[in-house]
Amino acid sequence: MTETAGEKALELPNIVTILAEKAKGTPLSDFLLTWQSLIFSLIIIMLLSVIAYVASRKIKEVPGRLQAACELFVGGVDDFVRGIIGDKARIYTPFIGTLFIYILFMNLSGIVPLMKSPTSNWSTTMALTICVMLYVFYVSIKEMGVIGYIDHLLGKPRGIIAFSVFIPLMMLVLHIVSDFIARPLSLSLRLRSNIWGDDMLLAVLSGFGAKGIPLLLFNTFLVILASIVQTVVFCLLTTIYFTLVLTHEET
Amino acid sequence: MELLKLLSANEIVAQVISFLLLLFILRKFLWNKFTKVLDDRRDRVASELLKIEDAKADVERIKADYNVKLDGIEKAAKEKMEEAIAEGRRISEELRQGAERDGQKMIDSAKLAIEGEISKAKDQLKDDIVDITIGIAEKVIEEKLTEGADKRIVEEFIKRIDRA
């Protein structure tokens, strides 16, 4: 919502900006522009909720198309998460699966006319990253305990290293930077920047008129590919963060 | 720091709440229901496969039993057949022996009958000889015997015996 004027200028018009334009000079216009990404996020949430509700309303022994698609998605995510984390993964499947479908829909909404990718807004990706980090932190505390987690942050100093102050301190700084700064920044900025870049490119190519249509179509294909790849990367990294925490206890 | 201006605390909080809301909804309508459906189906398929394996094992066992029984039946049939053959042979032997016995009896009875007939014939012959002898003697007594007549009478007598 606090994007620079330059970034705004390259945006394609969407339903919210059109409405804001119509209500220009009123508090509604400011409200719409301020919560633009959230409005699209809520539209996607509503869409996903309706799909989930309709699909789960009449579950049959022989599934229809929607039920089969949902089963495929749920089974696929479950296999994916369990394949990486192991048998403990079942409890993390809903979280990672919801992230996956939510991010994928948000990424792909950029190519739908009059829509915008909420993930091109850093606040959106940062919010998702905060959810991931808080959950990973919670799992860390749950698995290792408070003392165990502090021990982990200090790099598990044992023997002579335990008596030195420098190395555990360095490990603490390293872990804090890694777990609380580098990871959230990289996770959120990677997704936001890729999707924002795709949206910018679409906006630029749209300005070429009829001549830009072939390039626009090709770029749309690239956007779809990038959207899927970035979704997979985000969820894969999330799963790996869980894995690191869970296997830490075992090792 | 310029980059950090892109972030909005309010929007982050709102987005976190939105995501948690979606997580709650999808957990209720998608994850819980569909993981249960998939688990049930997986369990059902596993149990069906197990049943199929059991049925397969049963079939193998029944087949083995059947083969054993078939072997037993074949063996029993062979034994029965051998018994029947032996019985047949025994019966035929008995029949043969019975027939031989009956034949021997018939031969013996025929021999007895023949012997009886011969004896009868001999008795008859004796009677005839006696009658003839008596007749000749009567003639001899009745007629005056000559040497030629004696000779003729004897020859006649011999001829009679030959005819008899």
Q: Is residue B147 part of a domain?
A: yes
Q: What is the mean pLDDT of chain A?
A: 86
* pLDDT at residue A250 greater than cutoff 80: no
Q: Which residue in the set B15, B22, B34 is minimally distant from A74, CB to CB?
A: B34
pLDDT band at A251 (very low <50, low <70, confident <90, very high): very low
- pLDDT at residue B3 in the model: 76
CB contact under 8 A, A98 and B26: yes
CB contact under 8 A, A94 and B27: yes
Could you give the CA distance from residue B34 to residue B27 in angstroms, rounded to a whole number? 10
Contacts of B25 in chain A (CB under 8 A): 45, 48-49, 52-53
pLDDT band at A43 (very low <50, low <70, confident <90, very high): very high
Q: Is residue B97 part of a domain?
A: yes
Using left for φ > 0, alpha for ψ between -120 and 50, and beta otherwise, residue A86 falls in left
By residue count, chain B amounts to 164
Contacts of A48 in chain B (CB under 8 A): 22, 25-26
* pLDDT at residue A6 greater than cutoff 50: no
* pLDDT at residue B36 greater than cutoff 60: yes
Q: What is the mean pLDDT of chain B?
A: 87
The CA R_g of chain B, rounded to the nearest whole Å, is 62
Interface of A with B in 130-169 (CB under 8 A): 130-131
Q: How many structural domains compose chain B?
A: 1
Mean pLDDT on B51-63: 93
Domain, as residue range, for B76: 24-163
Q: Is residue B56 part of a domain?
A: yes
- pLDDT at residue B146 in the model: 64
pLDDT tens sequence across B59-78: 999 999 999 998 989 999 99
- pLDDT at residue B119 in the model: 85
Task: Give the whole-number percent of chain B exceeding pLDDT 90.
Answer: 48
Tokens 């022994």: give the residue.
A61
* pLDDT at residue A8 greater than cutoff 70: no
Mean pLDDT on B93-122: 89
Helix (H) or strand (E) holding A178: none
pLDDT band at A51 (very low <50, low <70, confident <90, very high): very high
Could you give the CA distance from residue B109 to residue B97 in angstroms, rounded to a whole number? 18
Based on DSSP, count helices (H) and strands (E) in chain A, helices before strands: 11, 0
Q: Concatenate the DSSP letters of all residues of B47-109 into one string.
A: HHHHHHHHHHHHHHHHHHHHHHHHHHHHHHHHHHHHHHHHHHHHHHHHHHHHHHHHHHHHHHH
Q: Is residue B152 part of a domain?
A: yes
Type of residue at B147: E
- pLDDT at residue A3 in the model: 47
Pull the structure tokens for residue A100: 């996956």
pLDDT band at B144 (very low <50, low <70, confident <90, very high): low
Q: Is residue B118 part of a domain?
A: yes
Distance from CA of A181 to the nearest CA of B (A): 13
Establish if A249 touches chain B: CB-CB under 8 angstroms.
no
Mean pLDDT on B145-164: 73
Contacts of B31 in chain A (CB under 8 A): 74, 93-94, 97-98
- pLDDT at residue B4 in the model: 78
A interface test, pick of B3, B10, B11 with most A CB neighbours within 10 Å: B11
The CA R_g of chain A, rounded to the nearest whole Å, is 22
Q: Is residue B127 part of a domain?
A: yes
* pLDDT at residue B134 greater than cutoff 90: no
Could you give the CA distance from residue A121 to residue A3 in angstroms, rounded to a whole number? 8
* pLDDT at residue A248 greater than cutoff 80: no
* pLDDT at residue A22 greater than cutoff 50: yes
- pLDDT at residue A5 in the model: 39
Mean pLDDT on B47-60: 93
Q: Is residue B15 part of a domain?
A: no
Could you give the CA distance from residue B132 to residue B154 in angstroms, rounded to a whole number? 11
Mean pLDDT on A75-97: 87
Contacts of B20 in chain A (CB under 8 A): 131
Q: Is residue B7 part of a domain?
A: no
- pLDDT at residue B145 in the model: 59
- pLDDT at residue A205 in the model: 84
Establish if A87 touches chain B: CB-CB under 8 angstroms.
no
Longest Cα–Cα distance of chain B, Å, equals 198
